[in-house]
Amino acid sequence: MPHYYQEAVDSICESIRFDSSAAQHSAKMPFGKGAYDCLCHFLALAEKLGFETKNYDGYAGEVLFGHGEPFAILCHLDVVPAGDGWTKPPFGGIVEAGKIWGRGAMDDKGPAICVLYALKALKDRGFVPKKTIKLIVGCNEESGWKCIEYYSRVAKLPETGFSPDADFPVIYAEKGILHVRLHYPLGTAPFFYLEGGTSANMVCDLCEATPRSLSTKRILACGLEVKGKKILSRGKSAHGSTPEKGVNAMLPMLKYFSARNETIKNIIADLFEDRYGLTDLEDETGKLTLSPDLIKYRKGELQVVCDIRYPATVPVDAVHEKLAQMGVKYETLHHQAPLYHAKDSELIQSLLSVYEECTGKRAEPIAIGGGTYARALKNGVAFGPEMEGDEAVIHQPDEYITLDRVKLLLDIYEKAIERLTK
């Protein structure tokens, strides 16, 4: 049994019970009370374990261990909204059927807690790192990275490190991330109200509308529900980087209204049928993914926010050229340049060797569409916690981490930190 296994399980459950999704902010709580309380809980736990900590005005926190050249481990405590479709309490932090259930269990509270207890295990063994390990926990990773931006202004971000916020065996490349809002003028819309989605990086799982007229036969044919004067479309959420793992609730709603509106037909063709070939952009890190995740009707137009993950070696200008072909106004809400490292770099090979030692599996570095804090570092990569063959649970209902994965993470991160900082 790994060191501090039960303590880690208990602490993960406690952390999950804070709803740390973005909420109403204040000067002291820049991302809302839930995120602030979760950060304070994490730092209090670290202090109880004997570590020096710093709270950077509620934006981010830091746990320090060792002396010398700084080395970063970047995690986040904020989560995406719970969304619909849960059979377990999303912020219950309960243990059942060999799993810890709740939003953030895998993304990223579980891994963050495991790293903290891995540091404690090293400390108890008398390990003295020859680097200053900075376990940095942010509170705005899911919706803008203001936490890391603030930290970089008031403190010094290390150049090298890893983020336990993606996949094993180790990530050598992350696609670029581009969030855009497209404005489609409607004129006279066939509805009074239409809105759907909860986050720009989460596949829309619920879309609602108030139509000007109801056609029950067509509503049912499109797979929609009638609720009073509203009609509802339900889907399945998924991470915006893997839209194929979800079911987008926007599409049935748009199809219902498209029979009466040419602009809505164009939205379907542009964003769901990809008539301008955005997803044809491809390199060794994979194809571009296009996920329309938020939609709302405002001031005579339909506004659609899309999550675009473009291949790591493709210039962002190539994406903008495709978007311009649609002929509609759009604006960039968020952009993160890709991450790309040589597979044979020392950092990647060191982490790969730890993974192989702990799992007994031979593996190769991989590329992902997700974006992690690793790209904030000059020499940073993502390392776990997901593995090939895992059920997709991140940004989905009934998110969980297995107890066996907690045990593995405690072992892997203890060995990885020791190897990289001795």
Question: Tokens 């490349």 sit at which residue?
Answer: 173
Question: Tokens 């040589």 sit at which residue?
Answer: 342
Q: What are phi and psi of 198, to 5 degrees?
A: -120, -20
Given the residues 19, 78, 108, 414, the one annotated as active site? 78
Find the helix or strand (DSSP H, E) in which 328 lies.
Answer: none
- Distance from the first to the final alpha carbon of the chain: 24
Contact 348, 380 (CB under 8 A): no
C-alpha to C-alpha distance for 115 and 61, rounded to whole angstroms? 14
Q: What are phi and psi of 154, to 5 degrees?
A: -100, -10
**Which residues, at least 6 apart from 126, have a Cβ–Cβ distance to it below 8 Å?**
none
Q: Which two tokens stand for residue 56?
A: 């950077």
**Which residues, at least 6 apart from 183, have a Cβ–Cβ distance to it below 8 Å?**
301, 302, 303, 328, 329, 330, 331
Q: What are phi and psi of 171, to 5 degrees?
A: -100, 120
78 is catalytic: yes
Given the residues 141, 142, 167, 208, the one annotated as active site? 141
- In the chain, % helix, strand, coil (3-state, to 5) comes to 30, 30, 40
Catalytic residues: 78, 141
